[in-house]
Amino acid sequence: MAAQTQGGVRAPSPTRAPEPGPGGPVQPVQPVPGGRLSGPLARLRSAARTPPGRLRTALAVLVALALLFGVTAAWQSAERAAAARQLASRSEPLSQDAAEIYRSLADADATAAAGFLMASAEPPEVRKRYQDDLATAARLIPQAAARSGASADAQRQLAALGEQLPRYAGLVETARAINREGLPLGGAYLRYASNYLQTSLLPTAERIADGEAAALDEDHDAAAAVPWAALVLGVLLLGALGRYQVVLFRRTNRVFNPGLLTASAAVLAALAWTAVGTVAAGTGLHEARTRGIDPLRELNRVRVEALQAHTAENLDLVSRGATEAFEDRWDALARTLTASARDTGSVAGLLADPPERARQQLTEARRWFDEWQRRHAEAARLDAEGRYEEALGKTLAPGRDDTAEAAFNAAGQQWEQAGRAEQAAFEAAAGGIDGTLAVQAAATALLAALAVGGTVRGLGRRLAEYR
Amino acid sequence: MRRARTRTLLAAAALLAGLLGGGGSAAGAGGTRGEALVHAAAAAPQSAPEAENCDTGTSLPPAQRDGARIQEIRKRGYLIVGVDQSAYNWGYRDSQTGRIEGFDIDLARAVARSVLGDPDKVRLKTIATADRVELLRAQPRTIDLIARAMTVTCDRLEQISFSSPYFKVSQRVVAPKAAHARSVAEALGGKRVCAALNSSSHSELKRDPHGAASVVTPDNQLDCLVLMELGEADATLSDSSLAAAMVAQDQTMELAGESFLPTYMGVGISKDDTDLIAWVNQVLVDWRNNGGWQASYDRWLRPVMGDPGPYRPW
């Protein structure tokens, strides 16, 4: 077999200048003047210029490149799988928990004011709702603090909230007790309690929720990151494998080197897997963001605003004559809530491009919200005419469903259901992405190993011919 | 003629009260809600309000004639009165009955009975302290008069009118009994002092802080009581009417030190409504003569403020 000896025939002399030819990538890069180099380096260089030496160099480069590709691709996929898992199982639920703490506190504020206005006629379910709100916050605060990884700042905020909550509860109970004695001082206490909640607890809870939202965004972005390093390395490796197969073909006239061909196919498969997997995960994550995370965030924001407006509505009736602050507060919040769909924090904005699963609830909630605004306007008109009792009856009355409070609660229930639908949409979109990415990590690792094996086998055959 | 005589009598009574006015300080430390006030009030200086540069004690002569405002009220069928709903025993909403009641509310109903023949033909509209003067000047007007522990000041007289005085008040300090303050200087000196925003007490503290270390001004004087109970303020300066309402709601508080800056309380009415001013003045004369004032005082204020002597403006 003439071709088998070709490498030997073309053995280069150390001093020969490089010539254009099929030596290609493994040719010496530079002529080295004789005698200028000596010792191990020179020996290495001359060894590398022998045909088996060139083969060994090629083998080392290709194997190193394949290993690097495999490790990078698997590592990047595994990282993204971990981020996707974190997103679905930890940061999104925690973010929802933080939002729930925030919402519970705002709800407690509104409910306490409603119960206060009804005084001795306060129905047990109003009292229960207030207590449930406090219980929810009290349960979620240590839960959030207990999870490892919460930053020192988040821990501080949660500890602060843990201290503020009992003080708030104490103030509300004092207000209730004094109110039951029939003393107007109770109203002043409730104003103080609400102000304390609005200026201490809610800002703390908001900072915690913002922190969790940022962590969620981080996980989302990490999971959706395009693995450029793996893709670039893969393309480079594929190019090197192809190029060397051309070189070998020219030297040996063999069309195929099965080992290298297998390696190329494996790398191509790994590349395709990574690319397709990235697109698929990206689509899922985009869906999770646009159908779950973002709508939920906007919904939580609107719900808290609405609760604060409801609080202002109730406290305005508690504090008529003592302060106009709550009327101003209602006006400001109602302006935000009733703004156009383009403005953040507006009820209309929730319906601008709602997730399909939540559209019906959001539409219904919008209807109730408008009804609430109408009834409030009617109550405000009565109040302005000095018909306080009628205004109060129009705003809230135990067991009646034609009050502003009833409309608000109906809107709140629809929003809650919309929130659940959006949460489900998130889970459907984000669930399984981590699995896909983990399989992708394992597959790329295996395919890279196959590429290494193919390369070693393909070039090992050639090397063996020199022995 | 009877009315003119009444008016002369009123003025004479006010003058006499002023002449008889004497000093005294030591506030009692009674055991029940009312007692502290009884002693403190009895010992307060009794001088008639010697207001800045105007006469805060006189109004139009009492008369019952149908002017534009009276006709409008009759046509409407009810009287609209601006009131408070958180001034205990003056104008406050009883959380059990839901009704707004108190001394000022009795007065509002007396006016309604006189104009419309029915004390229930009245709409009580809760208004904020800061809006009082504006509401009587705004067009179209949404209230007829204001019965809301409103003191007659020269500033206010430039913008609105008042009825004849129906109560005499002064500045009082509310402080915890535990502070054992024997004078205003002692009660306020070096202390964190609270007063309702834009109240006459707030103005007084701006004019003379009385040695206060700091001054905090929430929207309402009841907020001051909350701040004192929570240890965020040491003392509160307020009109004696509202100071009494505060002490009535917290037995650990007392009126500390002497009273100062005596002023009158009057029903606020628009300058344009001379018919209503005169009418209300007639109601006040009748209210005083038929024992209505005394009955309302006994019902709402005597348990806390004791003998009415120091508070009668006549």
Structural domain of B94: 68-166+266-301
CATH of the domain at B254: 3.40.190.10
Task: Please tell me whether residues B278 and B154 are part of one structural domain.
Answer: yes
Which member of A189, A321, A387 has the closest CB to residue B84?
A: A321
Task: Name the most confidently modeled range: A26-40, B5-19, B209-223.
Answer: B209-223
| In a domain? residue B309 | no
Question: Which residues of B lie closer than 8 Å to A, measured between beta carbons?
Answer: 80-81, 83-88, 91-96, 98, 100, 123-131, 142-143, 148, 219-220, 222-223, 225-227, 230, 245, 249-250
pLDDT of A28 above 60? no
Domain shared by B33 and B143, yes or no: no
More confident residue, A29 or B23: A29
Name every chain B residue with its beta carbon within 8 A of the beta carbon of A385.
Answer: 80, 123, 125
Answer yes or no: are the C-beta atoms of B250 and B229 closer than 8 Å: yes
What is the phi/psi pair of residue B157, to 5°?
A: -65, -20
Name the band, by pLDDT with cuts 50, 70 and 90, for residue A225. Answer: very high
- Give the closest of A179, A184, A392 to B222, CB-based: A184
- Decide: residue A342, CB within 10 A, 0-12 exposed, 13-18 middle, 19+ buried: exposed
Q: Please indicate, yes or no, whether residues B158 and B284 belong to a single structural domain of this protein.
A: yes
Q: Please give the residue that has the higher pLDDT: either B217 or B199.
A: B217
Q: How far apart are CA A346 and CA A335, in angstroms?
A: 9
Confidence at residue A233, expressed as pLDDT on a 0 to 100 scale: 95
pLDDT level of residue A466 (50, 70, 90 thresholds) = confident
% of chain B beyond a pLDDT of 90 = 61
The mean per-residue pLDDT over the stretch A136-142 comes to: 93
Pair (B111, B179) in one structural domain = no
Residue B5: inside a domain: no
Average pLDDT over residues A154-174: 94
- Is A252 or A24 the better-scoring residue by pLDDT? A252
B62 in any annotated domain: no
Q: Does A192 contact B96 at a Cβ distance shorter than 8 Å?
A: no
Closest Cβ opposite residue B219 in set A180, A323, A386: A323
Q: How confident is the model at residue A21 (pLDDT cuts 50, 70, 90)?
A: very low
pLDDT of residue A231: 94
Of the pLDDT bands very low, low, confident and very high (cuts 50, 70, 90), residue A36 is low
pLDDT of residue A404: 95
Could you give the number of structural domains in chain A? Answer: 1
Phi-psi region of B64 (alpha: psi -120 to 50; beta: other; left: phi over 0): beta
Nearest CA in chain A to B196: A322
Q: Which pLDDT value is given to residue B36? A: 37
What one-letter code names the amino acid at B153?
T
Indicate whether B162 and B73 sit together in one domain: yes
- Scan for tokens 């679905």, then name that residue: A88
What is the distance between the alpha carbons of residues A224 and A81, in angstroms, rounded to a whole number?
Answer: 10
Residue A163 lies in a domain: no
SS3 B172: strand
Q: Is residue B97 part of a domain?
A: yes
User: How close A346 gets to chain B, by Cα (Å)?
Assistant: 30
A440 inside 8 A of chain B by CB: no
E strands, chain B, are 79-83, 86-87, 91-93, 100-101, 122-126, 145-146, 161-162, 167-176, 192-194, 214-216, 235-239, 253-265, 268-269
- All residues of chain A having their beta carbon less than 8 Å from the beta carbon of residue B223 are 188, 191-192, 322
- For residue B250, the chain A residue with the least C-alpha distance is A185
Judged by CB atoms closer than 8 Å, whether chains meet at B226 and A188 is answered as yes
Q: Is residue B289 part of a domain?
A: yes
Bridge partners (DSSP) of residue B82 are: B125, B146
Are A456 and A263 contacting, i.e. CB atoms less than 8 angstroms apart? no
pLDDT digits (tens, 9 = 90+) for B15-69: 444 444 333 333 333 333 333 333 333 333 444 555 457 888 888 899 888 899 9
Q: What is the pLDDT of residue A8?
A: 39
Claim to verify: residue B96 and residue B238 sit in the same structural domain: no
Q: What residue of B is the nearest CA neighbor of A174?
A: B226
Q: B252 and B120, same structural domain?
A: no
Structure tokens at A336: 């935000």
Residues B175 and B236 in one domain: yes
What's residue A37's pLDDT?
Answer: 55
In a domain, A132, yes or no: no
Residues 6+ apart with CB under 8 A from A401: none
Q: Are residues B198 and B157 in the same domain?
A: no
pLDDT at B1: 40
A168-200, pLDDT tens digit by residue? 999 999 999 998 888 999 999 999 999 999 999
Mean pLDDT on B245-265: 93
Domain span holding position A348: 61-96+224-464
- Report the pLDDT averaged over residues B164-192: 95
Same domain, B178 and B254: yes
Tell me the pLDDT band of A387, cut-offs 50, 70 and 90. Answer: confident
Interface contact flag, A192 B225, Cβ < 8 Å:
no
pLDDT at A31 over 80: no
Tell me what pLDDT residue A150 has.
63
Tally the domains of chain B.
2
Instruction: Supply the pLDDT for residue A415.
Output: 96
Shortest distance between the Cα of A179 and any Cα of chain B, in A, equals 7
Of A301-315, B6-20, B59-73, B98-112, the least confident: B6-20
* Residue A460 forms part of a structural domain: yes
Asked if residue B176 and residue B136 are part of one domain, the reply reads no
Considering the domain architecture, whether residues B203 and B143 belong to the same structural domain is answered as no
pLDDT at A216 (0 to 100) = 92
